[in-house]
Each structure stands twice: as C-alpha cells, then as structure tokens.
Structure 1
Amino acid sequence: MTQLISEEQGISIKTLCSLFGKSRNAWYESRIRIEKDVLIRDIVLQEVYTIRTELPGVGTRKLHFMLKDILSQHGISAGRDYLFDLLAATGLLVTRRRRRVITTDSNHWMRRYDNLMAFEQITRPEQVWVSDITYLRLNNSFVYLSLITDAYSRQIMGYHLQNDLSAEGCLRALRMAIAKRKTPKLTLMHHSDRGSQYCSKAYVDELNGETIAISMTKNGDPYENAIAERVNGILKTEFDLERSTGTFEQLKIN
C-alpha cells in the first residue's frame, strides 16, 4: 500500500519512511512478511476447500486436526486460533444458516478486478485465457503447477512447475502463453481468481503491457473459474498427476 501511495502522489519511499520514523530496510522487511502471510493463507484455504468438498459440514476443531500433517508438509505451522480467525475472516466458519466455501484469499492490499467473464460469450480461440494453480504431490512434498488455458479450444497455452507459490510461476506460464499467441491484434481477456499471484504488480504489468483485459472471480470461488478447475481435474485424474512420484526434475520432464 505504501508503494501505491508513493507512486500516485510522487512521494519517495525514503521520504515516507522518514515521516514515520522507519528505515527503508524495515519497510522492505514488512512487505516481505505481508506477501509471505498472503501465500500461507492461500495454501491453508486451498487445503480447507479440499477437505470441505468431501466433508462440507466439518467444524474448525476437526479441520485443525486434519490439516496438521498436510500443512507441515508445506512447512506451515498453524495454530487453532489462527485457523479460527482465518475462517471467520473469509466467511468459512460452519453455521446453521450459512455455508460458503472460498478457496482464494482476497484480503490483501493489492488491487482486485471485476469479473468480466459473466458478460462474455466465447466464440473463438485467444478470446479468453483462464489461469489457475494446482497442487501436485511429489513423494512426501508438494509442487505447484501454474496453467494458462484457452477457454475456447481448451488448449494449455502456458505452464510452469515450481517448488513454491510465488508469483514467478504464474508469470512464466503467462509469458509462455504470450509467446505462443497467434492473433495478437485481436482482443484478449485474462481470467483468474483473486489470488495474490495474479494481483501482483509484475503480473498485472505483464498483462497491461500486452493490452490484455483483466478479469477476476468475484469472491475467489472456484466455480467462477470452472474451466480452469475442469482442466486441473483432467490432469490429475486422466493423467494420474495426483500420485506423482520421482524427483522434481523428472516430473518437469514428464
């Protein structure tokens, strides 16, 4: 947020830090902590969604017990109070009157965009690209596959596999898709959830630089990005990526 203020008003980071009695190093460290916290929330919420898909009524205490081992494989230690606060903040606490599943954390400081897909009738290739990240199990750890899929042809235009959930994987998949684009003079829309990777400055700048319209799901609900979710399901079930074995390099080659 500080960066946005400085860019809009022409105030340097150094000046802002001096006004608040903070060093530039402290500002950068604070930003890194914020981005790390956003990534952790993304992982926790995705795993909550996975469990809730099969057990929609499972409560927070049991969720905490079920998540403990799988989160430790991600290198995450989340206490019960943290999980309660996170589910409360995202509307995922189970109540008798309301049950809603949100898989992507949009409670970050970066800009979110409207859902343009609701008004779009897809009639040709390279009209709409949908983006998503899926988790794959590799022996006793996880790797993360970023995908760009053409909504009309269902062709995977770009992909990248990496060990973490940073925006770099999504950015590399996007650049691969752009390099394969055959009709650059026609309008193109990019649709994704509101995850921090897709809202990051580097990712948005890449889209704007290519004059690609930006569309995002309204609440981070996977059902608003159904094409991407369907492609993920095909890769995991038909190509058996759900039970990947071997090394990270072998999985990248396969």
Structure 2
Amino acid sequence: MIERDHPTINIKRQASLLGVNRTSVYRKPAGTEESAENIQIMHVIDAIYTDKPFFGYRRITVKLREMGFNVNRKRVRRLMRLMGIHGIHPQPNLSKRLHAKYVRPYLLRGLDIHRPNHVWGVDITYLRMGKGFMYLFTIIDWFSRKVVDYELSSTLEKGFVMTCLKRAFRRCKPEIINSDQGSHFTNADYLNLLAEHEIQVSMDGKGRATDNSRTERFFRALKYECIYLNEFENPRELRKGIKRYVTFYNTDRPHQSLDYATPDRIYYEHVTSVA
C-alpha cells in the first residue's frame, strides 16, 4: 500500500519496493473521487447496513431521508455499488459476478469443520475514515475464527485480494476456501491461483449471507469495536488501528463460540495436535 505522506520513503521508492508502476500511483484514490457529502452519506449507509444487512437500497434510502439527507434511490444504489454492498436478497453480496462460468457450488453444507486450515472464508468490506474510505480483504480460518491474513486497498481492483492470498499461502494452505459470488472471486485469476495450490473452491449460494456468516461476524465486530469507536482520519491511522484490532481479536478477545477461548489458542493447539 502506497503512503503518499510517508515521512521517510518517497512515492517512487515505495512503488519500486511494491513492484507497481509508478504512474498508476498518481491516479486519484477511490476515496477522493466522491464529494464530501457523498462520503458522509456512504459512512451513514455503512452504519445502517452493518446494523441491518438485510436492508436493500430502497429501505436505506428511506432511512437516509428520515435522517435529513436529500437522496433518491438511484444515488443510494450507486453509492452502495461503489461500497461493494447489497442488501441480503437474491443477488451476490459483493458486486456482480464476472461470468457465470466461474461460479462454483457451495461445498460446506453439512460439512464437519474439525481442524485448522480445513476451511478458510474470504470476503471484502468497506471501512470508513474521516476523509474517505478503504476496502479490507480478510481471510478467516473457520474452525478457530483466527484472522489468517488481511489486506487494505483504496480501490476494489482485484490485485489486493491476490496479493493477500499469495502471502498467506506461503505460510499455510486450507483444503477449501469459501467466498461469495462477487467479481473478485468469479474470475480466472482467482480460480487458477487456488487450482495451482490444489485448494477446493466453494461459493455462497446466491443471496445466502448465512453461508459466510463467520466472516461477516468478524466484520461486524471490527466495525463496532474498532472503526466506529476510533474514527480514523487517514490510511496510516486506519492501518495501525486494523493491525492492533486483529492482534487483539486473535490473541486476547474471548469467543463465546470457542467456549471463551481465543482464536490463536484454538488454532495453534489443534495445529500442534494434528502435527
């Protein structure tokens, strides 16, 4: 991730270290392309959606009007698409599928997930900042609820998803990865990467948010326990905040579903016992 205001490393050097084209760095980030009013509306949409993910753009439009925003359905729908969210009803959770031929069946129904790195869930969420927003891609081990890895991006281009997955695979690999039917996962690059590592591909049923509920619960906890409480002003602050929260979530936050153990404890105890 490029930090435009980094105190010691200039943009040219950062681009070189990350292996990206320097000219692409100077494009306007997604968060600065929208007006301040639209960003404010998006932040409110995020709060409404986090509380009521079954609300589509029509109901969110009504709620925004009740709060004094002069918006119509078309505007709200466009902003929700930019945020990468949809109400939970018969359509994919994050953007349109790239092509139906890349969709894979849901493999987890009735599956006994009984060890770490058996199933990983992956997903993307919108994170607000004081003057903009970013997107967070997260990998969760479904057995232990451990956050295996994550990556932040200022755009919804698929590169940050691939970067995070490749980094995670250097440490460990699951048997199955489950995602929604969004365009980041219904494309040849994503499917080829998983095939190269002999990982089975599972995708949520259309409009079935419960199929990826463990990942969604992490996003909800992250927003209520970190993002909304701190109101990070810029990417640097957000990255530091996410790093602190993920460490807390993995090592210090008891989980009721784990009999109040932490994800790291469950993950490493069972990895050791399997080994």
- The match for 1:202 is 189
Which residue of 163, 167, 170 corresponds with 1:172? Answer: 163
Give the drift of 1:137: 0.6
Q: TM-score, normalised by structure 1?
A: 0.61
- The match for 2:130 is 139
Mapped pair 1:114 → 2:105: yes
Mapped pair 1:63 → 2:61: yes
CA distance in 1, matches of 2:167, 2:57: 41
Which residue of 120, 132, 144 corresponds with 1:153? Answer: 144
Q: What residue ranges of structure 1 are gaps of 5+ in the alignment?
A: 1-43, 68-76, 93-98
- The match for 2:202 is 215
Residue by residue, what CA displacement relative to the aligned partner does 1:162-192 show, whole Å, maximum 9, x if unpaired? 10111112112212221221xx5xx610001
Kept in 1: contact 2:54–2:89 (CA 8 A): no
- Shift in CA distance, 195/59, structure 1 to aligned 2, threshold 3 Å: closer
Mapped pair 1:104 → 2:94: yes
Mapped pair 1:244 → 2:263: no
Give the drift of 1:247: 2.0
Give the drift of 1:48: 8.9
Give the drift of 1:138: 0.9
Give the drift of 1:101: 6.2
- Shift in CA distance, 221/246, structure 1 to aligned 2, threshold 3 Å: same
Residue by residue, what CA displacement relative to the aligned partner does 1:212-251 show, whole Å, maximum 9, x if unpaired? 000000114322100100111222223x123431321232
Give the drift of 1:157: 1.0
CA distance in 2, matches of 1:50, 1:127: 33
Kept in 1: contact 2:133–2:154 (CA 8 A): yes
Kept in 1: contact 2:120–2:139 (CA 8 A): yes
Kept in 2: contact 1:139–1:245 (CA 8 A): yes
Aligned-residue identity in percent: 23
Q: What residue ranges of structure 2 are gaps of 5+ in the alignment?
A: 1-41, 66-70, 242-275
Paired residue secondary structure (1:198): coil
Paired residue secondary structure (1:204): helix
Q: TM-score, normalised by structure 2?
A: 0.56
1:63 partner letter: T
Residue by residue, what CA displacement relative to the aligned partner does 1:15-62 show, whole Å, maximum 9, x if unpaired? xxxxxxxxxxxxxxxxxxxxxxxxxxxxx9xx5995496496788387
Paired residue secondary structure (2:109): helix
The runs of at least 4 consecutive aligned structure 1 residues that moved more than 4 Å come to: 47-53, 55-59, 81-84
Kept in 2: contact 1:105–1:220 (CA 8 A): no
CA-based RMSD of the aligned residues comes to: 3.8
CA distance in 2, matches of 1:55, 1:131: 18
Kept in 2: contact 1:61–1:80 (CA 8 A): no
Paired residue secondary structure (2:170): helix
- Shift in CA distance, 249/123, structure 1 to aligned 2, threshold 3 Å: same
